[in-house]
Structure 1
């Protein structure tokens, strides 16, 4: 009965989120309340379990970075960057999109995609406001790029951290194995952007002329605060990159950075808390509880085990099946809990495969499938939810299906490119 209840609640809540019949935060929290009320999970599983509970590392990483961005916004640096980007692109919306997409992808590899989205979204909103165009296509394109770019490194996408820990893979392992395919995927993304977002690049020439006449340096309002933010952000980024050396989780680094910056800048609570996306944080909490119920009742493990058993001991079949299943399921249930559940099963498969290159390919197929699959729907990755939350708060709501129509195309493209890469590198050329 618990299994049926967990599945029913999740499916109903997911349909409500997808159809937008009710606000997605309300649907997620109601679903979480139901699985608790029905006894599918208890408070211990929800609040204290790493496997089935709320991922507090994600929640507090978001909270810390939202506070930092809230303080940083007061400096005027986002306006500066927006004007700089628009002028470098000569006011062309297409070139602006490509520039911001590349910046987002590269930054996502060395920070994490959620942090990058929090930093790039205000810039995008300002650029589009200056040019008098809708920011929606740009925000969607950037979050798609963040999930692709974050695939390149251990710290770029949260599922990679889980995989690296389980498989003993280092930052350099990810960079050497994932960066080549990510570079190919980014080129492909840039090529299809004009088609995927066709009709989104019309601009009034007068607006372009106005932007080109602006002096970006005049946008900086508080140089002293900007220096403080730069120092704190540099320390935070160093903490993200060296988290395995410092033994500090990214969430702790973000909270420390937020606390130090608030103290240094003497920013008032009403100012730095105004930038916190409380609805997004609550949505994540509700979603984690519902997915935790599926994990607790064994639903996700059963699905993953069925996929693993279908390989018949063939390493290439296993790699391709893991890639496809991971892309599909990660897009539906969020890639963090999916990878947490799937990684022990992949570890079992790895032990049964004699060829080291074939065995390693299983881990890379899981990473590629989960990270690229995060682009499939609006709830497939943490960065998606954060970006949609920002867009809604700024008055540019992006519907579940508007995102998914674009995301499904990019997911299909990236997975189709990843399959021959895995075959060529780990089977044909190994």
Structure 2
């Protein structure tokens, strides 16, 4: 029962994003849960170390370094500035924004894309007297959807791909079609929601108006440093189609990028999301302790007795969606992967796509959503839970319908 108590408190804290009375976030809650598993003897120290899936951590860490190279080289800011002039035709601009965001998220991870694009969009759109909300929500929605298409698009996909030993190309060919259709549907829904226009109205979505005279934020564009990052991405994706383990390829490319005469290692490492890496490590330990107790297997047996088998893809997608919005998609994916059949890659693809699509439902479903909200608030724009859900809920519903239709086609 001690194991269940630790697991329940940890996952409840992750769901709430805090522990009442303490100034602590999801990462802190997960870390405390992992510590409790070890200190209380549920998991040995050696068992805790072995529970951490090092290939996934290495891949995640390496891709963060590669993304840091591009960010410091001003790549993301430059791309954002290149598409901003299209705001004279808002509907076309929204489509370009969502398309670019989806493609970049599929290759360079959605969190980084949202972090880099949001400040540029916030400043530029307000100065153009356009309502930034549909565009910023569109950025979050498209980055989530686009990231579902590849193994390296988001943290949960990296975990699923590494744990399931999934083929990069096979993953893409299965996951890309529903992602593309969901992206088109998301664009259409936002256009329908804002059919009256994209101009600023009464500015109720703004905290204040501090933007006059402010320069567009972001690192200055450096052609050479951006080229280095771009070459690294192309080589890395090419290596993913070979038999070399993905984590070996990624850490090698990351190591080469650290050998720089201009960019300090401290600057690059400073952009690594250590909080996310810590969250992964802590969750590995918590779930390992719970798995050893046998309670997770008992819960799955009970679900099976009620006719809800994870081998049935719509059931898996539904449970994934529910858990992703209760605990966020990374913890949800970690909970479910141990019950997937290694011989049935379609189950793994389904978990990857459904948990990612589910991130659009509510603000707390995806880290990318929170990044957009937090970055927008710095620039005087408030995206409320309800404003996001008004778009996110129908986008998620339609995306899941597309996924279920995809089950029938394949």
Query: When the two structures are superposed, what TM-score results if normalisation uses the length of structure 2?
Result: 0.74
Q: Please state how far the C-alpha of 1:370 moved relative to its aligned partner.
A: 2.2
Cα distance change on mapping 1:297 and 1:94 into 2, 3 Å: same
Q: Please state how far the C-alpha of 1:338 moved relative to its aligned partner.
A: 3.5
Cα distance change on mapping 1:61 and 1:344 into 2, 3 Å: same
The answer for the alignment partner of 1:214 in structure 2 is: none
Q: Please state how far the C-alpha of 1:116 moved relative to its aligned partner.
A: 3.6
* Aligned counterpart in structure 1 of residue 275 of structure 2, from 256, 270, 282: 282
The answer for the alignment partner of 2:398 in structure 1 is: 413
CA distance in 2, matches of 1:268, 1:164: 32
CA distance in 2, matches of 1:121, 1:33: 32
Q: Please state how far the C-alpha of 1:320 moved relative to its aligned partner.
A: 1.4
CA distance in 1, matches of 2:366, 2:21: 22
Cα distance change on mapping 1:314 and 1:305 into 2, 3 Å: closer
Contact 2:325/2:358, CA 8 A, preserved across alignment:
yes
The answer for the alignment partner of 1:202 in structure 2 is: 199
Q: Please state how far the C-alpha of 1:54 moved relative to its aligned partner.
A: 12
1:247 aligns with 2:245: yes
Cα distance change on mapping 1:110 and 1:388 into 2, 3 Å: same
RMSD over equivalenced CA pairs, Å: 4.2
1:11 aligns with 2:12: yes
Please list the CA deviations of residues 292-333 of structure 1 after superposition, one character each: whole Å capped at 9, or x if unmatched: 424521365555554455447796xx1211111112213333
Deviates more, 1:359-368 or 1:37-46: 37-46
Contact 1:346/1:363, CA 8 A, preserved across alignment:
yes
Please list the CA deviations of residues 181-206 of structure 1 after superposition, one character each: whole Å capped at 9, or x if unmatched: 222211111110134567882149xx
Long gaps (5+) in structure 1: 205-218, 351-358
Contact 1:110/1:241, CA 8 A, preserved across alignment:
no
1:370 aligns with 2:355: yes
Cα distance change on mapping 1:270 and 1:235 into 2, 3 Å: closer
Contact 1:158/1:336, CA 8 A, preserved across alignment:
yes
The answer for the alignment partner of 1:72 in structure 2 is: 73
Query: When the two structures are superposed, what TM-score results if normalisation uses the length of structure 1?
Result: 0.71
Q: Please state how far the C-alpha of 1:20 moved relative to its aligned partner.
A: 10
CA distance in 1, matches of 2:370, 2:44: 26
Contact 1:137/1:200, CA 8 A, preserved across alignment:
no
Contact 2:130/2:200, CA 8 A, preserved across alignment:
yes
Q: Hey, which of these two has a bigger chunk of helix by percent? A: 1
Deviates more, 1:295-304 or 1:53-62: 53-62
- Report 1:294-333 matches (<5 A): 294-298=287-291, 302-304=298-300, 306-308=302-304, 310-311=306-307, 318-333=312-327
The answer for the alignment partner of 1:95 in structure 2 is: 92
- Report 1:67-216 matches (<5 A): 67-73=68-74, 80-87=78-85, 89-133=86-130, 135=132, 137-164=134-161, 169-196=166-193, 201-203=198-200
Contact 1:10/1:291, CA 8 A, preserved across alignment:
no
CA distance in 1, matches of 2:14, 2:306: 30
CA distance in 2, matches of 1:82, 1:119: 8
The answer for the alignment partner of 2:51 in structure 1 is: 49
Cα distance change on mapping 1:381 and 1:338 into 2, 3 Å: same
Contact 1:307/1:322, CA 8 A, preserved across alignment:
no
Long gaps (5+) in structure 2: 202-216
